[in-house]
A and B are shown apart, each in its own frame.
Chain A
């Protein structure tokens, strides 16, 4: 049973528009959430995180929203740029954990 789900395997967005990537989790013990970006032939790189004491965290063009009651988080990228084209993984776990559960990833393609 997958505890962290990314139901959209792929997403295409026009350059300059908003990209919204979604992630759902089932384990109510999870209170720390992260997004990673992965380019082909490279390892994932950390993008942004959020703890359950907040419902929003921003870093430049990237914002993560957390809806604890729905067990749902989303990553917004505004404006989207062609260089954002990558696979995005969400991950979740109890805070301070060494065991994060990753989703299956969403491949974002930003069209110029």
Chain B
């Protein structure tokens, strides 16, 4: 089954404790992206990657890092999480030339 998986689905952590949210897709997609969803703000893009070792900033990259060492994986790293990073995070992937972006189920992060 074609899918995008994220782990963990739920995470409660404390300020400053480094964490990684993993994202994996099994569709051999070139493009992957991370979004956060906040009330009244919709979905905002954090980072995206057009292929292995190619990443670029989205609209709200501050406080986040990403890496793309393999085509299937695109982890999101919060080196020093802060409460304003409490949000619902979505990973997505798509083939380069198509418009259908497949989203993962989301990771709800709470930073205390």
Residues of A within 8 A of B (CB): 4, 6, 32, 34, 36, 41-46, 49, 89, 91, 96, 98-105
List the 3 closest A-B pairs by CB distance, nearest first. Answer: A43-B103, A104-B42, A102-B43
- Distance of A96 Cα from B45 Cα, bound (Å): 16
| B97→A102 contact, CB < 8 A | no
Question: Distance in Å from the Cβ of A21 to the closest Cβ of chain B?
Answer: 14
Residues of B within 8 A of A49 (CB): 99
A98 engages B99 (CB within 8 Å): no
- Chain B positions 96 through 110: 1 when the CB is less than 8 Å from some CB of chain A, otherwise 0: 010111111110000
A44 touches B103 (CB 8 A): yes
Q: Given A98-B48, A99-B45, A104-B42, is A43 in contact with B58 using a C-beta cutoff of 8 Å?
A: no
Residues of B with C-beta under 8 A to A6 = 42
| With A46-B100, A99-B48, A102-B44 already in contact, 12 other A-B pairs whose C-beta atoms are closer than 8 Å | A41-B105, A42-B105, A42-B106, A43-B102, A43-B104, A43-B106, A44-B43, A96-B97, A98-B33, A98-B50, A99-B58, A105-B43
Give residues in B with beta carbon < 8 Å to A: 4, 31, 33, 35, 40-45, 48, 50, 56, 58-59, 90, 92, 97, 99-106
B104 touching A89, Cβ below 8 Å: no
- Measured CB to CB, the closest approach of chain A to B9, in angstroms, equals 9
Q: Which residue of A lies closest to B103 (CB)?
A: A43
Contacts of B97 in A (CB 8 A): 96
Pick the residue among A41, A45, A105 that contacts B42 (CB under 8 A): A105
- Measured CB to CB, the nearest residue on chain B to A50 is B99
Q: Are A45 and B103 in contact (CB under 8 A)?
A: yes
| Contacts A/B (CB < 8 Å), 6 sampled | A36-B103, A41-B105, A44-B90, A46-B100, A46-B101, A104-B41
Q: Is the CB of B42 within 8 A of A43?
A: no
| B59 neighbours in A (Cβ, 8 Å) | 99, 101
Known contacts A43-B90, A46-B101; A89 and B43 CB within 8 A of each other: yes
A102, B42: Cβ atoms closer than 8 Å: yes
Which chain B positions have C-beta within 8 A of A46?
A: 99-102
User: How near does chain B come to A18, taking the closest CB pair, in angstroms?
Assistant: 24
